[in-house]
Amino acid sequence: MAERRVNVGWAEGLHARPASIFVRATTASGVPVTIAKAGGDPVNAASMLAVLGLGAQGGEEIVLASEADGADAALDRLAKLVAEGLEELPETV
């Protein structure tokens, strides 16, 4: 299983707009991904309600994981998005 541990770069955490950006990027990756707070239960990273339900705060560590083909590249892009608090997923990493 591929996994990335990253600190949330958005000051407001994964709430409202940042969560929406993250969920859209996850869906666009075409790879099933889970997200969890460090030590917490993983949830579907393509579900807005699940991501909001995490209550991940700015600076808090989250874990992105996937077992699918292409997981490493997808997780690298998503980790960059989250860590840097970007407004959209970079086309290339």
Residues serving a catalytic function are 15
Tokens of 92: 């290339």
Q: Cβ contacts of residue 93 below 8 Å, gap of 6+?
A: 73, 76, 77, 80
Q: Are the CB atoms for 87 and 47 separated by under 8 Å? A: no
